[in-house]
Every structure is written in C-alpha cells, then in structure tokens.
Chain A
C-alpha cells in the first residue's frame, strides 16, 4: 500500500467553501464531452459533419459568385452550362441565406447526428449503467436532475456543435456575401430562429439520447434503436402520405420531421414553402415533440434511481 509516515504529510484537510450542485452538473457535462472527444469514431463523424457544412458554405459562396455572370456560360466537365440555369438550381436548394438554407442544413446534418448521438449516448450514459458508475455520481451532493442535466448539456453541446454553431456561421457568411448592412438587420430573426431551433434540438435530442442510452446502453443497439424513429418511421410516413395519399398527420410519426417543422416555425418560414407540401400543422408537431420529451422525463425519473447506489 505504501503508506509511510512521510506520505501522511501529503494528506491535509480541505477547508474550502463548497459550491452548489449546479456546478456539479457542469462538471458532469464537461467530463462527458471530454470522454466523447477521446473517441476516434467521434472525430470521423465530425469530419463528415464538416463536409456537409463545407458543402453549404462553399455553395452559398458559389451562388453569389455565379449570379455575377448572368449572361454567360460555364463549362462543367467540358459541357457548357448557362449560368442562369445553375443559379436557378442553386436557388431551388435554397443556398441563399434564406430560412430554408438553415432549415435544410439542419435537416441534412440530421443523418450524421443520429449516429453521433448513438455514440454519445452509449459513451456518456450507457457506460454509467453498464459499468455501475451511477453510485459514483448519485452518492454525491447532487440530485438525479443534476446528473441528468449534466448529461443533457453534454449531448446538447454535441448537437449544437453539429447544427446550431455551423448554422450561425452560415448566417454570418451570408451577411458577408450579400449586403451585410441590410442582411444582418433584416434577417436578425433568422439568427434568433437558429438559436431557437438549436435549443429545441438540444432539449429534445438530449432527453431522447439519454433515455435511449439508459434503455439500451451500447452503441450498436443504440444505432438500431435510433434507426426506428429516424429512418423507419420516416419511410413509413413518406409511403403513407406521399404514396397512399393518406392524411398528412401520418408524418407526425417522423420525429425528425416534427423537429424540422418546429424549427422552421422558429425561423419564421411560410408553411406553404415547406417541402414536401403535405405537412401536419406546427402545433401538432410541437405536441408530439412535447410528448416525446415528457415521456423521456418520466422514463428517466423511473430508471435513474438514487436507491440503486447501495445494492
């Protein structure tokens, strides 16, 4: 053990003033993010997310640049293409610093985010259950809500790193590309909308990730569990609404679409411009999102029990 008389000198009493449990939640979040950053897979996925961001970043630049050549043609692989046609195409995908630029960006990042969150859930929360770390946290002067807050904050940091932060950068870039004197003032509501969308994603995906991780714990089962709500239900919703022409409310089973609708509402999008056109009302989507959050909270309240500390 190596406890010698001289080593006792190194033990000294601590007489500082302890801080409140919210600081503990912040420590949980910080350590959780650091744990995630230690995974190579995370950085691989971050690189993919960066590619999506760069696509939007340079395409916005391209859109502005191309508009300066209105009567000319450019050559793609030796084929002359009218600049007007190109800008029409880029306009259709909304790479013009408008509401749908940011909405689409978050939508496309969703594909990568699903895998990132599966990894985050298993590393940050699943491990605590699989390795019995819960007693370590809950025997300290923090409550269950502080533990959960720390984990949700960590997941939120990841979500915002992939969605909100790059979207804000795109907004700043759009202002610089267009007339920044008017863009930033006229489109300030877009910045607020981006932050609102980010908050919505943070809360919903944070709770959903933590709840799913508590349930399945490991990365691969988590990816499979995520595939259900984010891929399978989306395919079913599209098939039922677009293929069978059923009520658009069937799209409510697609949670990512619900978040998208709520996000576009935050951004102030005209509902008629949302594609695909047959969509449920925003309040209905918001109700589903609130229901999912409530369900997750109830589940977490039941599963994250302080009484598990002592077996």
Chain B
C-alpha cells in the first residue's frame, strides 16, 4: 500500500525565510497528528500537501500522487480530490443552507449536481445535522459550524482528511464528540487523517502517529507509544522515611530530582549506566524506604516541549 505521505528532502523558502528545511518523512496510512508551535512550518506543510504551493526543492507524494504545486494543474486536481480539507477559519458562505453549502463543495470537487446534493444530505445526516440541513450556515452554533465544515470535506469521500484545528472554539462536550467522530472516520471508514493542532490532548485522543515540527524541521516522528518510550532515563520514585537524606544521596550519585509532588513521590532523571538497584542501596544507606519505582513515561506535552527546545 502506498504511503500516506512521503517527503524527500522537501524545502520551501519564501525569499530568505526557510519555512520548511529539508523535511524527509514517510508516514503510512492512518491517523497522524501534526504538532508544532507557531511558525514551525505546519501551515506551509499543509499547503504543500494540498498542492497549493510547490516545494522549492525536494519531492513529495500523497498516496502516490506527486506534489506539484501550481506548476502541475491536472496533477493538482487529482491530488486535491484525494484530500478533504477542513480549514480552521469559519470558511462558510453566508446565505447558503447547510445542504446548499455542502452540495456546492461536492460540485467544486467535480461531482455532478444531483449526486452532490444527494450526498450532501447523506453526509449531513451522518454528522448529525439532519434537522439543521435547511438552516442558513451563518445561524449555526460553533459545534454545528465545525461539523458542516467536516461535511464539506467528506462530501466526495476522500481517502485523506486534512483537519486544521477541528476542535477550535468547541465546548468540552462538542470537542469530545468531534474527536470521537474523527477517530471513527479513521477506524470505521478507513480514512487517513492528518490533524494539525496545538492541542496535544486532541492528538492523544485521535492519532496513532505524531509528527512534531519546529523551526521548519521534523523534530520527532513516530507512534505516540514509541515517542513516549524513547525517554528511558526518567523514573517515579515513592519515598518513605528520611527523604532529605535520600535526596542528598541521589544528588551525590548524579541523579537529578526533577519534581516532588509533596506526598513523597519524586520524578528523577538518572545518569547513563545507572542501575535501579542504586535506588534501593542509597535508600537503605539514608534510612529511607523506596515504596514504589516505576518508569516515568513522558506525557505528550513534555515530549512536545522537549522536542521543540532541542
């Protein structure tokens, strides 16, 4: 099966500013989270993936369709038909009803009018907007607007959904529902999803893989589990007895105490070549007791911050 995204040495510069710098990626079909701070190059990557701009150098493919930018119109149409894009901005057409708006999207994707309208009804029903189909889109609530935007991305049944901040402006219940829906589109209907967001929790809830971009470069890439597991020098130690003495002993042995929750649980970073027996030995020497010792899996947020600051 073709890769969802395959980029080889892709660079995109705007004058002297390099927005993407020698990006090489190979992502299998599935649900991918695209994380990065402002200016990381996420937007530029999305534009490249949609064929809106060509790479300055390097090559890329989405589901085996080459990225050509504006230089290859026919290829571009084929590429964009593979993708359903849900923009972050409202992007609604005031005056149109829900079904009119989604039907127009279908026609723009090249569907005959009758089929576009019929499918608009189906997709809106699927997304729970059946009752609101004939209301004007500008009268929709924030949650409904997000769903109608998802409907217009889904109208032509694309294999790839490119979602830019899909939970932006939603309340917690709406956010959960949207994430459940996106996840379901991936698991039940086999859609590949590229989720660009600042919200790490969204990525955790939906995505199998994560790509962290910063400064125009890919800093981390892999499954959420792989990336978390990559950090093997962190432990959570629950301590009883003379904690102060144990802390001094750990420091002397080169173990850094990163945090203390105030209830005797510490987060520590050990030096290279460290053996976990050392915790128990030092505890015994300091009249302290190690009640529990577990590997401290890094949260996605910590991973993100570390990746960005590297």
Contact = CB atoms under 8 A, between A and B. Distances in A.
Contacts of A132: 87, 89-91
B110 A23 contact: yes
A139 B122 contact: no
Given A8-B126, A14-B115, A27-B107, A311 B88 contact: yes
B96 to A, nearest CB: 7
B282 interface: no
A135 interface: yes
Interface residues of A, number: 44
A98 interface: no
A156 B52 CA distance: 28
A31 B112 CA distance: 14
A136 B104 CA distance: 10
A19 interface: yes
B139 interface: no
A14 B156 contact: yes
Main secondary structure of the interface of A (DSSP, over half): loop
Interface in B108-146: 108-113, 115, 119, 122-123, 125-128, 138
A20 B110 contact: yes
A106 to B, nearest CB: 29
Interface string B166-200: 00000000000110110010001100000000000
A231 to B, nearest CB: 29
A18 B156 contact: yes
Nearest to B173: A1
Contacts of B96: 31, 35
Interface string B267-296: 000000000000000000000000000000
Given A139-B50, A306-B52, A11 B110 contact: no
A105 B123 CA distance: 49
A10 B77 contact: no
A33 B82 CA distance: 29
Contact of A136 (B43, B91, B111, B188): B91
Contacts of B43: 310-311
Interface string A11-42: 11111101111011001100100010010000
A140 B85 CA distance: 8
Contacts of B81: 18, 141
Given A3-B126, A27-B104, A133 B93 contact: yes
Nearest to B129: A2
Contacts of B111: 14, 16, 18-19
B152 A136 contact: yes
A310 B87 contact: yes
A133 B47 contact: no
B157 interface: yes
A200 B110 CA distance: 30
Contacts of B238: none
Contacts of A128: 93
Nearest to B164: A310
A20 B107 CA distance: 10
Interface in A171-227: none
Contacts of B109: 18, 24, 140-141
Contact of B189 (A11, A18, A31, A142): A11
A131 B73 contact: no
A309 interface: yes
Contacts of B125: 7, 10
Contacts of B126: 3, 7-8, 10-11
Q: Which of B95, B100, B119 has the most chain A CB within a 10 Å cutoff?
A: B95
B46 A310 contact: yes
B219 interface: no
A257 interface: no
B152 to A, nearest CB: 7
Interface of A: 1-3, 7-8, 10-16, 18-21, 23-24, 27-28, 31, 35, 38, 123, 127-128, 131-143, 306-307, 309-311
5 tightest A-B CB contacts, nearest first:
A18-B110, A1-B177, A2-B128, A27-B107, A140-B108
7 contacts: A11-B189, A14-B157, A18-B81, A20-B110, A24-B109, A35-B93, A135-B89
